[in-house]
Amino acid sequence: MKRLHVHVGVVDLNRSIAFYSTLFGAEPAATKPDYAKWMLDDPRVNFAISANNAHKGIEHLGIQVDDQAELAEVYGRLKAADGPVLEEGRTT
C-alpha cells in the first residue's frame, strides 16, 4: 500500500516535535537526536522532520511503497508522465 512521504527541515527540533505531535494527535514513531518521524494512517503519510540540514522547509517529497511491484508501478507512472525520477530503490 502506497504512502506519501514528506520530509521537512526545521530550526528547533523539540519545538517542532511538540507542534506536530499535537497537530497529528500522535507521538513520533521514531526519534533521533536530529530527526523525528510519524507513520500516520489518516492521512496515510510518512512525515519526517530533521534539524541537521541547512535547508529549512520542505526538503523532499516521495511515495513510499511496500514491495518491488508497487515500486515498479510508481516508476512506470512517473516515466510515462515524463516526470523527474530519482530512483533510490531500497531506502529505509
Residues 6 or more apart whose Cβ sits within 8 Å of residue 26: 38, 40
pLDDT-derived band at 90 (thresholds 50, 70, 90) equals low
- How many C-beta neighbours within 10 Å does residue 10 have? 21
CA 55, 61, 66: angle at the middle one, nearest 5?
A: 135
For 31-89, write each residue's pLDDT tens digit: 999 999 999 998 889 999 999 877 788 877 777 788 888 888 877 877 787 766 777 76
b/e map of 43-66 (b: 16 or more CB within 10 Å)? eebbbbbbbeeeeeeeeeeebbbe
